[in-house]
Structure 1
Amino acid sequence: MAASTDSNSNISASIAGILNEKHCAEHVQALKTFTAALRDKEYRDTVEEEAFSSLFKVLSRLCDELQSATGDDGDLQSSALQLQLTAECFRAQRNACVQSTRNQCLLRELGFIDVSLKLLSFLQARNSESRDGIFEPLRCGIQFLGNLAVGNQMCKDDIWRMSFPDLLLQLLRVDDEKVVNYSSMVLHTCLDETKVEELSEPQNIQLALRVMDLCRNQPDLDWTVLIATQHFLNSSTLVEKMYSGMSHHERVTLLELLFAQLREEDSEQCSIPPSVAQFLASSFQKCCGAVLTLATGSASSDEVLQEALTVISLLDVLCEMTSDHKQFMFLQEHPDLLVTTVELLEQVHAIGKASKNIFSSAQNFSSFSGDEDSSSHSPVISFKAHLIRLIGNLCHSNTNNQNKVRELEGIPLILDNCNIDSNNPFISQWAIFAIRNLLEHNTQNQELVASLERRGTADYSALKELGFLVEERDGSLLLKPVRKDS
């Protein structure tokens, strides 16, 4: 124990000695010794407060020196040693906080958060100068904040109060992947429900949009994806504000993350609020007509194309929400969502039949062989199939919607899509699924199908999979239940 105490005292003395001397390489080594010692849990748990107090004074001195050495027009070419010492101070602080609430609280009380953030703000503002020397202390300083915040609410709140939103946004814009990744980690660690709502304010929304931009352009940064899926998507206010401020490119990214989250989460415990589903349904209804521009070639600009792709992504999300998530089945009653979907299917189907275009049925399956570049695939692949899927979902065990589709003459329309179509893989299966939901416990719909004259090339025999047999008699179709023993 005596030896350990002596070592502790020696390290503390060597750090204190830095304050009374001109900076030199030996000071870097003294800090490295402290950093290495802090990797040991036993030392970390017993390190003297005096050592941290001296380290704080060293860091504060470095902050003053760096700021006075550069001025408004100066650079950091002559401050290489100070930058190296700053990085080593941050490393020591980072190591001190690992699994140590004691040290986290001690560093917070000594004022490390304020001076560290001042240094980070100064460094990021000069990240275009002496890049190699800047990035090392930037990275280490941000790692320190991350370790300081883990499991410590007071530290989280202080970091947030002193860095939100401007410094966090600036750090996420630094041209260094590690700086951005570590900054995302700090943001993720600090976030909670209240802080997410703060992001919804007009003056703060740019920070949320920057996170989403990183999700789109740097998808390998796991922390930004976690921020979006674990925090942003759980706030209907933030989702609506972000969506309104996004380009169509960015909206597609948001919708893709929503879709992935719906796939991953338990259908009984999905964290996405119902109000998000309402907002997306209304957005789909407002802009769904944009997809029709793809048939005429009027989608000449990238912006128009991206708006159409946004509609396609909205449809995918709505299909997923109404598939196996009971909390979103209220969408069956969403005003005119079913009507909009049936009418859009009717338009798409009619356009595809009128002339050869992007919505026309095809029998070209070579594009699915894996030999062709995926970029050559049509942007509306499966769009018509997913419209039918959404109709089927909205009619599941819902008599009013079953009747509404019949009144809109949607049943023959769906039956006319029971054929194989390479532009809409599995469309016949989705058509069968939709017809099943339309006929279930609905005598009027069953009678309608039984009395229909054959239209187009609809494959009514596929209904046998649903427990019904369709027979043609005197030019009409009769629907009969399939006997269990048949």
Structure 2
Amino acid sequence: MSEILDLEKVKTNLENINENLKKLIAGEVLDNCTLEDTKLQIRSIRNACSQGTQAQNFLIEQEETIAYMQMIVSKDLQAKDLIELSWQFVANLTVQNEKSQKFVWDHLGETLTDDIRIHPIDNNTDKKLMIIYNICRGGLVECSEKFALTLLADIWHRIVEEQSNEELVFVDLFFEYFLVTNQWTLRLYATISAQNRIDILKYITTYIRNDSPNGPIRTILMEYISKEFKKKADCILRNSGDMENSLHPQEVYNLLSVISCATGSELYYNIYARDDALFLSAGALLQSIVALGKKEPNQFTPMTKLEEVAPGSNIDTSFELEISFELKTLLVRTIGNLLCTNRHNQQHCIDTKLLPALLECTNMDARNPLIKEWSILAIRNACYDCPEIQHMISELTEAGQAPNQLLTELNIEMGALRIQPKE
């Protein structure tokens, strides 16, 4: 008997809410008392959803509910606190209830997704994403996982672009579902646009840097990232007028960013340590970039002048937006990690004559922050327990000071050393 009375109370609250929201949309001003009562009533029906499917089904069976939901997403309604409570209600309505999920998607799906894409990232974004998450996980509504993954990538792109500090719990939960739990994500990832793939790779890099808090990313996806890098790595060195292909260098950069982080993590190192082709591809790309940088000045030429590296320099920093910025650092970092206690890769280093390229990277370069430090680590890992490479290093002799524009400007005589093999 008490449950029937509770449902009747919910129905009465819903009628009052609809009436007051209609007045607001019509431009009427509600007194503070009425506004507060409306908020309490919205909280009441929001909390009623937690009673289970019976309460949720009761709510969606009320004729006024459709009109109420349309009011929720009205662009004319400026009462932010009421909108927030309303989104909370819709989100709670979709929790573990296939019937209400279908109802919400049929009546609000298109409007909801448009709203997510159009509005700036705010505290309601997470509530809207929770609705999509619940519907997607329900599995019986025509909300495809490809659509959801694309929407998620778009949201992450905007979070990065807008430098949003909003705490979006369901962004991480949704990504966890796709990257850690869902066994079909690779099929989805392979079919979405290049820009969406890039945005997902950026999230993966962030996720790995944060020590994979919700569990390791599925091995099959990490292996595919290596496969894609090896297949597309050489596009860094050439241009294409095709719009899709023009994004490939950025994609390669972000593939490499994931790999450079992953090879330094115990969770993923073994996936890549046994991938000989990955080491060879990274080494070949580094050698090509080093050689290219020695030709006439280009985006791969090291920036070593004082005016280029000084913190207060007035030099145009647009180079930081080029695909070459930090690229060599990522390559050297990846190579260094893959050389760590890895006899096969140490032998590849010898066979491909990679050591000179690593030595070239020990100079300061404003295009590649921390490249000197990563190069030293890479050389150290190459030498560790490898007599052949140790012997190669020992055969190098001092041949005077290497050209160093920075040291010349500072009038410092003791600088880096030029090295050459013994004759």
TMscore range, shorter length: 0.7 to 0.9
In structure 2, what is the equivalent of residue 94 of structure 1?
43
1:43-63 deviation line (CA, Å, top 9, x unaligned):
xxx987425315426747998
- Secondary structure of the residue that 2:362 maps to in structure 1? coil
- Secondary structure of the residue that 1:281 maps to in structure 2? helix
Alpha-carbon offset, residue 411 of structure 1:
1.7
Counterpart mapping for 1:138-157 below 5 A: 139-147=84-92, 154-155=96-97, 157=98
**CA distance in structure 2 between the aligned counterparts of 1:270 and 1:264, rounded to whole angstroms:** 11
Asked if structure 1 preserves the Cα contact closer than 8 Å seen for 2:302 and 2:365, the reply is yes
Counterpart mapping for 1:186-335 below 5 A: 187-188=129-130, 191=133, 195=136, 198=139, 203-218=144-159, 219=162, 220=164, 221-223=166-168, 225-234=171-180, 235=182, 237-238=184-185, 241-242=188-189, 244-248=191-195, 250-265=196-211, 270-293=215-238, 298=239, 306-334=247-275
- The letter of the residue matching 1:443 is P
Match of 2:7 among 41, 44, 52: 52
Match of 1:346 among 278, 287, 310: 287
The change in CA–CA distance for 1:353 and 1:229 in structure 2 (over 3 A counts) is same
**CA distance in structure 1 between the aligned counterparts of 2:106 and 2:346, rounded to whole angstroms:** 50
Match of 2:383 among 421, 429, 439: 439
1:82-136 deviation line (CA, Å, top 9, x unaligned):
9x999977852433554x78745662253447768734664578x46xx237988
Asked if structure 2 preserves the Cα contact closer than 8 Å seen for 1:416 and 1:457, the reply is no
Alpha-carbon offset, residue 154 of structure 1:
4.0
- The letter of the residue matching 1:291 is I
Asked if structure 1 preserves the Cα contact closer than 8 Å seen for 2:121 and 2:158, the reply is no
In structure 2, what is the equivalent of residue 403 of structure 1?
347
In structure 1, what is the equivalent of residue 326 of structure 2?
382
**Does structure 1 residue 476 correspond to structure 2 residue 419?**
no
**Does structure 1 residue 182 correspond to structure 2 residue 124?**
yes
- The letter of the residue matching 1:247 is A
Alpha-carbon offset, residue 240 of structure 1:
5.1
The change in CA–CA distance for 1:311 and 1:116 in structure 2 (over 3 A counts) is farther
Asked if structure 2 preserves the Cα contact closer than 8 Å seen for 1:454 and 1:476, the reply is no
Asked if structure 2 preserves the Cα contact closer than 8 Å seen for 1:278 and 1:334, the reply is no
Asked if structure 1 preserves the Cα contact closer than 8 Å seen for 2:46 and 2:88, the reply is no
**CA distance in structure 1 between the aligned counterparts of 2:138 and 2:356, rounded to whole angstroms:** 47
**CA distance in structure 2 between the aligned counterparts of 1:450 and 1:386, rounded to whole angstroms:** 27
- The letter of the residue matching 2:77 is D
Gaps of 5+ in 2: 404-416
In structure 1, what is the equivalent of residue 407 of structure 2?
none
**CA distance in structure 2 between the aligned counterparts of 1:454 and 1:165, rounded to whole angstroms:** 75
The change in CA–CA distance for 1:427 and 1:455 in structure 2 (over 3 A counts) is farther
In structure 2, what is the equivalent of residue 418 of structure 1?
362
Alpha-carbon offset, residue 321 of structure 1:
0.4
**CA distance in structure 1 between the aligned counterparts of 2:268 and 2:92, rounded to whole angstroms:** 37
- Secondary structure of the residue that 1:132 maps to in structure 2? coil
Identity of aligned residues (%): 18
Asked if structure 1 preserves the Cα contact closer than 8 Å seen for 2:282 and 2:335, the reply is yes
- The letter of the residue matching 1:182 is N
1:367-399 deviation line (CA, Å, top 9, x unaligned):
552655754525212211221111111121111
**CA distance in structure 2 between the aligned counterparts of 1:321 and 1:337, rounded to whole angstroms:** 13
The change in CA–CA distance for 1:257 and 1:56 in structure 2 (over 3 A counts) is same
- Compute the TM-score of the two structures, normalised by the length of structure 2: 0.74
Gaps of 5+ in 1: 1-45, 67-75, 460-470, 478-486
1:448-467 deviation line (CA, Å, top 9, x unaligned):
333457899889xxxxxxxx
Counterpart mapping for 1:127-146 below 5 A: 127=74, 131-132=76-77, 139-146=84-91
- The letter of the residue matching 1:343 is A
The change in CA–CA distance for 1:319 and 1:102 in structure 2 (over 3 A counts) is closer
In structure 1, what is the equivalent of residue 56 of structure 2?
108
Asked if structure 1 preserves the Cα contact closer than 8 Å seen for 2:290 and 2:360, the reply is no
Structure with higher RCO (Cα < 8 A, 6+ apart)? 2
The change in CA–CA distance for 1:374 and 1:236 in structure 2 (over 3 A counts) is farther
**CA distance in structure 2 between the aligned counterparts of 1:454 and 1:196, rounded to whole angstroms:** 64
Alpha-carbon offset, residue 215 of structure 1:
2.1
Alpha-carbon offset, residue 139 of structure 1:
4.7
Alpha-carbon offset, residue 300 of structure 1:
6.6
The change in CA–CA distance for 1:457 and 1:145 in structure 2 (over 3 A counts) is farther
Asked if structure 2 preserves the Cα contact closer than 8 Å seen for 1:392 and 1:438, the reply is yes
**CA distance in structure 1 between the aligned counterparts of 2:396 and 2:370, rounded to whole angstroms:** 24
- The letter of the residue matching 1:246 is S
In structure 2, what is the equivalent of residue 30 of structure 1?
none
- Secondary structure of the residue that 1:324 maps to in structure 2? coil
In structure 2, what is the equivalent of residue 467 of structure 1?
none
The change in CA–CA distance for 1:357 and 1:179 in structure 2 (over 3 A counts) is closer
The change in CA–CA distance for 1:278 and 1:102 in structure 2 (over 3 A counts) is closer
Of the structure 1 ranges 231-240 and 110-119, higher mean CA displacement relative to structure 2 is found in 110-119
Alpha-carbon offset, residue 335 of structure 1:
5.2
The number of aligned residues is 396
**CA distance in structure 2 between the aligned counterparts of 1:251 and 1:79, rounded to whole angstroms:** 40
1:54-81 deviation line (CA, Å, top 9, x unaligned):
54267479989x9xxxxxxxxx999839
